[in-house]
Structure 1
Amino acid sequence: MSQKKKKSNVMLIFSIMLGYALTYMDKNMIATAIIPIEAELGLNASQSGLLMSMFFIGYTVMQFPSGWLSDKIGPKKVLLLSIGTILIATIFFGFVASLGLLMVIRLLSGLGHAGVPTSSTKVVANNIHPKQKMFIQSLILSTSGIGGILAFTLGSSLISINWRYAYFGLAILYVVSILMIMIFFPKQGKDPHAKQKNKIPISVVFKDKNVFILFASLLFLNIVLYGYTSWLPSLYENKFGFGIKEISTILSINAITMSVGALSSSFLVDKAFKGNNKLFAIITVMICAISFFVFALAGSLWLSIIMMFIFTLTSNATFVTLFSWPHKLIQQEVIGSSIAIINIGSTFGGFLSPIITGYLITAFDGNYNIAFIAMGISAIICGVIILLVKTKPIHTEEPSFS
């Protein structure tokens, strides 16, 4: 690969990472913003959970169409359309003042977010050398932690002044992201393997059992991931009396742990586990489950914080391992559509999580322990499902890197 091509790929991946980080900033920021929104609109935990879940309805509905479009018209167009939609939703979210309108806008935002993971994965499949795909995928996914840091530093600082300012600031960052994609993405020329790719029917995706096993495992894992990211700020406010500043400090450190878990997963799978994704994912998700149970039973602030770091580290390591695994298991030509189906599991878990945890918190008079025990059980179910993955790799042609 030429030096010019390497530099081009670096800027390409950096552009994707920025867009990905901002989507995670968006996802995380709502967890802090919901505190002043609740106070302003007089919402209870169930209503707040419903507001946060509306995002995932849009996310789930648009997953397969965005993946199919990434395979058919190319990831650049899908990514620009997706982030453009999020930009519009983010601007309007800062203006409206009723629960109904906020729910509609979060639904629209979810529709936009759906295209980001599918198109990003397609870019990796098309442009990155096979030996580097899992590392680059984990690098992109590690920006979830960067998004969390932005949410709990810049976002929280603006929220403490006025939660609407945080969304106006986020909109400006989305504009920067769109400009970078337009500048640094390569032009989509004719694919020399197009005729061969067109012969692969979409039915191949639906016949692949691994697609649906990963779908189910990520569904239960995301009940965990979005359960605790949605409710940790409220828990620390209600259980320990923390304000937004203290919450933001703890969760900013936790976001760094998120990135460490994501970045370390690819290295550990390759080096310590000799490429055994299954064993690594099962071990990390079981540690995650145990830490949730201890967190729920802990009366000590410091023990709860330590357990929070552990379940953040292990849950994100599991997520990145599962989400990167398709590069070993699924044909490159249909990876956009396959990732879309797999990610429907993620988003449906994200949709269910705030509703389930919000209901449990309300049903048990503001007690968060039962909700976190339920998340631990969900992590165990995820581990059991991972056992079903068939690990025989599917051989695909290497990208042309042209």
Structure 2
Amino acid sequence: MGREKPKNNVMLIISIMLGYALTYMDKNMIATAIIPLETELSLNASQSGLLMSMFFIGYTVMQFPSGWLSDKIGPKKVLLISMGTILIATIFFGFVSALVLLMVIRLLAGLGHAGIPTSSTKVVANNIQPKQKMFVQSLILSTSGIGGILAFTLGSTLINMSWRYAYYGLAVLYAVSIIMIFFFFPKQKKNPIGGQEKKEDKVKISVVFKEKNVFALFAALLFLNIVLYGYLSWLPSFYETNFGFDLKAISITLSINAILMSVGALSSSIMVDKVFKGNDKRFALISILVCAIACIVFAMTNSLVMSITMMFIFTLSSNAVFVTLFSWPHKLIRQEVIGSSIAIINMGSTIGGFLSPTITGYLITAFGGNYSVAFIAMGLSAVVCGFVILLVKTKPVSNGEYKFN
């Protein structure tokens, strides 16, 4: 069957990017939708945090099963099932009004979202040449910014009319994405860059659990996502409470911030290759230190200009770190078990995503609606992430990749 034609690879990547963008639109939009939801359902910060966190319980539970299935039955099937589950959850979220039902639906959405990163990474591993993998992975992850832009422009416009309309509109976009995945994902079971996929069966799954780097990256992404999802969850409420922003002002500010998410993601692979000469670890350590400092200054300043400046800086730096850590497995981990490995690594992300809104929501409530302590806690979490990154072991070999220990 040979290699995929370049034009097919382009459509394949575009299909993944659209699906990824919509999942990030979903993750970002809840932070804005929670404002009218709090009013309609009379929720406090702790209840809002719990509602946002339910998504990550489902995400965490399905991480490893979806990764294992991506290795065994193929990423296309996993991706279609995942997107179908999200579509159903999104439609129903717009219909219900009870807090318990909304929490159950967000849990279901999380179950669906779990299959997106594992199956997408598996597709990249199987269909993209080794030298291009990190760039393509960073390109896909840069759609976090596109998803943010969609959330804070299209999503916010619909939320201004009714938060329910926003979720109906999102459901339509998910349906388009499912159609693209069905038509543009490769059908053959051959691995275009290295033989038959069934060779993967010869690599025991126990290999993944013996790899220390998998668990180091798991921990690093856990602490990093406490920062990422903490500030994504509470930025709209922060600017409404501290600076009196309305939804329009919030949407404009966070749309610019979303653009910087993509810039941070896209620049990471370029910076690693051109400036840091392939030293991923040094780049990640410098970026996470900048992120920590910016987050703490953001929490302590009363100046709107300084606040927005620091927000932009920790957006750039945190997303650069995220993409670097999430792309590292293409260098550190065997292709045959990358789906299962990414599942474990991304489980750290989802646990961090679950803990963050809940912990920060509790801190905000405990300190009488003061957001400063919550954002300082996020900055300290970034510092811990830096210490964990030091534990990642990289052993360069002649082809520019790393040994699988």
Q: TM-score range, shorter-chain basis?
A: over 0.9
Q: Quick one: which amino acid aligns to residue 270 of structure 2?
A: F
Matched, 1:134 2:130: no
Q: 1:8 to 1:190 in 2, by over 3 A?
A: closer
Q: Distance in 2 between matches of 1:71 and 1:141?
A: 21
- Can you list the C-alpha shifts for 1:306-332, whole angstroms capped at 9, x where unaligned? 000000000000000000000000000
Q: Distance in 2 between matches of 1:395 and 1:97?
A: 58
Give runs of aligned pairs for residues 260-339 of structure 1, distance below 5 A: 260-339=263-342
Q: CA deviation at 1:392?
A: 1.6
Question: 3-state SS of the aligned residue for 1:356?
Answer: helix
Q: Distance in 2 between matches of 1:395 and 1:117?
A: 29
Asked whether the 8 Å contact 1:328–1:393 carries over to 2, the reply is no
Q: Quick one: which amino acid aligns to residue 18 of structure 2?
A: L
Q: CA deviation at 1:293?
A: 1.1
TM-score, normalised to structure 2, is: 0.96
- For these two proteins, the number of residue pairs brought into alignment is 397
Asked whether the 8 Å contact 2:239–2:245 carries over to 1, the reply is yes
Give runs of aligned pairs for residues 1-400 of structure 1, distance below 5 A: 5-190=5-190, 192-392=195-395
Asked whether the 8 Å contact 1:156–1:248 carries over to 2, the reply is yes
Q: Quick one: which amino acid aligns to residue 70 of structure 2?
A: S
Q: Percent identity?
A: 78
Q: Distance in 2 between matches of 1:395 and 1:27?
A: 40
Q: 1:8 to 1:194 in 2, by over 3 A?
A: closer
Instruction: Please list every run of at least 4 consecutive aligned residues from structure 1 whose deviation after the TM superposition is greater than 3 angstroms.
Output: 1-4, 190-196, 393-396
TM-score, normalised to structure 1, is: 0.97
- Can you list the C-alpha shifts for 1:13-33, whole angstroms capped at 9, x where unaligned? 000000000000000000000
Q: 1:126 to 1:190 in 2, by over 3 A?
A: closer
Asked whether the 8 Å contact 1:329–1:393 carries over to 2, the reply is no
Q: Distance in 1 between matches of 2:228 and 2:3?
A: 39
**Unaligned ranges ≥5, structure 1:** none
Q: Distance in 2 between matches of 1:232 and 1:59?
A: 22
Q: CA deviation at 1:199?
A: 1.4
Q: Distance in 1 between matches of 2:198 and 2:149?
A: 44
Q: Distance in 2 between matches of 1:116 and 1:246?
A: 31
- Can you list the C-alpha shifts for 1:180-210, whole angstroms capped at 9, x where unaligned? 0111111133554345321110000000000
Calculate the aligned-residue CA RMSD, in Å. Answer: 1.6
Asked whether the 8 Å contact 2:26–2:151 carries over to 1, the reply is yes
Asked whether the 8 Å contact 2:68–2:339 carries over to 1, the reply is yes
Q: Distance in 1 between matches of 2:312 and 2:202?
A: 47
Asked whether the 8 Å contact 2:189–2:196 carries over to 1, the reply is no
Asked whether the 8 Å contact 2:82–2:116 carries over to 1, the reply is yes
Q: Distance in 2 between matches of 1:198 and 1:300?
A: 57
Question: 3-state SS of the aligned residue for 1:97?
Answer: coil
- Can you list the C-alpha shifts for 1:120-170, whole angstroms capped at 9, x where unaligned? 000000000000000000000000000000000000000001000000000
Q: Quick one: which amino acid aligns to residue 312 of structure 2?
A: F
Q: Distance in 2 between matches of 1:104 and 1:340?
A: 23
